[in-house]
Chains A and B, each alone.
Chain A
Amino acid sequence: MIRIPLRPLARVLDARARGRDPAPIERENLRLRHEQMRDRTRRQAEWRLLFLAALFFMGFALIGARMGLLAASPPLEARPWQGENIAADRAEIHDRAGRILATNLVTNSLYAEMRHMVDGARAARELAHIFPEIDGESLARRLTDPERSFVWIRAHLSPEQVQAVHDIGEPGLLFGPREMRLYPNGRLAAHVLGGAGFGTQGVTAAEIIGTAGIEHRLDERLRDPARADEPLALSLDLPVQAATEEVLAGGMAMLSARAAAAVVMDAQTGEIVAMASLPDFDPNRRPPPPTEGSPTDSPLFNHAVQGVYELGSVMKAFPVAQALEMGLVNPETMLDTRGPLRVGRFSITDFRPRGASQSVRDVFIYSSNIGTARLAQMIGAEAQREFLERFGLLEPSPVELAEAARARPLFPSRWRELETMTISYGHGLSTSPVTLAAAYAALVNGGTRVEPSLLRRPQAAPGERLISEETSAVMRSLMRAVVASGTASMAEVAGIGPGGKTGTADKPNPQGGYYSGRVIATFAGAFPMNDPRYVVVVMLDEPVDTTGTEPRRTAGWTAVPVAGEIIRRIAPLLGVRPQDTAEIEAALGLR
């Protein structure tokens, strides 16, 4: 800005020279300058006003927007207060119909704070009176120890016990809220659920962590705070599970077996509807793991998933299916079954020889070891191994239990002709009942692979094709014949039309060789056989039937009647409509 002087010398001198007064020039310039100053201050004032107005507008807009947001936000529901940053929420576990298998219960824990304690010795005495498992003397030592300021006494108390502790009247004994994992059905499905314990503990909350079974395997999902309200739906069906366990326990007691396992599986989706292993335990009071003896004798051991067994003749279904699938034989092809069959220094015999030659059908129905070994010879080691691998029999089961991944099937590293032959009738390859159930499901469901699962899976796409529809149909018909006229006749249930295969395998002796008179008896089958919906596997460890004149150990007298009773009980619960047995057999081409 060019500042014009108030008395420009040139103009003043010029005015003087002309004899005029130079004062008006100065006045005029002064006026112009004042106008300029006035304009400037007005502009400044206008800017300030605008700025202030904008500031106020923004302030009000902010408040208005916040109020609007508050008014529009959905009301939040109160969550139980959780102190000390411990997430105590754990999702419930339900069965397939929404019945509770595991839930949480708020109880009280008991602790002592020394600064409030009046008479520690007396408190310890009284507590030992209320809780028999508390050692009064050691507790008294801890409660009177001047070094301590805080002592945990018990993880949870019942309301009656809380009242009894209140009645002691000791101000140093305090209660903290505690979520507790509760399995209202007690022993039911104990091995599936596993159990839970406390992780990090604080005064007002404690973290619940799964210690075994599905609680351990899906621990992260169950503890996820975002999904705590969403129960975990298992594929188990509570009534079916209860009936299976009841029948299995009865059978195990009657046949004085050491252990027993049963698996009921949906043949199409691989959902496990019931899984039982005996002896069992109460997951509410999970026993400590055994420190001596064989872990397989512990009630914690899940025989259906953790146990791998040489399952015997039930495995014959696989070489028969494979030989049919490869087109090597048809059910009427005659096989040489003269015994004993010598391979190297090993000889294979039949339990009940039935002549010099038998058809493939009879080899399966009457369970000929020699005939199956002949089939295995035709198939060859490499093809057999590949076939069993595709059925999932050579890898740990993918079922959602912490124990499953550690249960590796046992099979020989060198798979030669002799191994091929023994594996064909179920010796030399150890696998778990749940894996066998999944493999049988694939055999009978039309030939597609199923993945065993404990989670509710209403829609599962059919898996990879393992055998053709036709082979599967022949296998269904053969399995039905085993029940209708073969070794598993005691599994017959009128109107349900079950089918399957029995297996009696001598137990391997840890010192080498096999025990005589100690067997694993197995039944693997499905029902109704014209359109299999469920697969059942029942396994008994060292059963013996003593109702006859001599002890009988074969599966036909032990595992089969138990399986038959299980099928009879669960079929109506699963909504399997009874049909005419003649119609079922006609559909399978047996009549």
Chain B
Amino acid sequence: MSAAEALEPETILSVENITLSFGAVRAIRDVSFDIRKGEIRAIIGPNGAGKTSMLNVINGFYHPQEGRIMFRGAVRKQMKPHEAAAGGIARTFQNVALFRGMTTLDNIMTGRNLKMDKWRTSLIPAMFYYGPTQKEEIKHREYVERVIEFLEIEAIRKTPVGRLPYGLQKRVELGRALAAEPDLLLLDEPMAGMNLEEKEDMCRFVLDVNDEFGTTIALIEHDMGVVMDLSDRVVVLDHGEKIADGTPEDVKSNQNVIDAYLGVSH
């Protein structure tokens, strides 16, 4: 089993030689890196470096032309969105992608959809509601209430998320991802557009999730302070290529990274 040998024992996901293009535009060029179980892995890089595209490849929204993805020992050319979700990859989005017409509670409940019993939530029982469906609803409501308590958003439980301020929406979105009990959590700029206090809260949640649930986290972030404090290892992308990979200290002193961020004088 070459695939199993190639993976280090604690690696949960690795991407190998991924290339993704849209027509003539190469968004990602030959990028490889891995994510180890239980770590916080940061993906950084200037705008347009291909960070979000990378996350989209990991959870199957974009299909790379070349390369392969190993997730929990299984090798794939590409992921499919529901496969990724069923395999325990949850995610938040750069621009909040909540279901705006639904309440906080319902939004987080949607995160449980894959954990719900198929038969109990199927058409016929659901039409009667009382009985199997209600039992299932209450069971999952209990878990969702734990998430709500953890994120300290009890007060907005019944508020439609469209009416919430941005910072809270980000928190609800994290809640929706957490409700899925993911093994790998992808966070796309979880702190973008937040003030200092909100950032601190969010950092605390990220660390707590990692500590308490042992969830592996891959995050994209522009705030270098946050990245250096939170992450165990950092991968740096620039113009779709990997230019550095290592601990925050290594990356901070890497000449390529400094050039990419500050520009090079020719």
Instruction: Tell me, yes or no, whether A binds B.
Output: no
Point out residues on B near A: beta carbons under 8 Å.
none
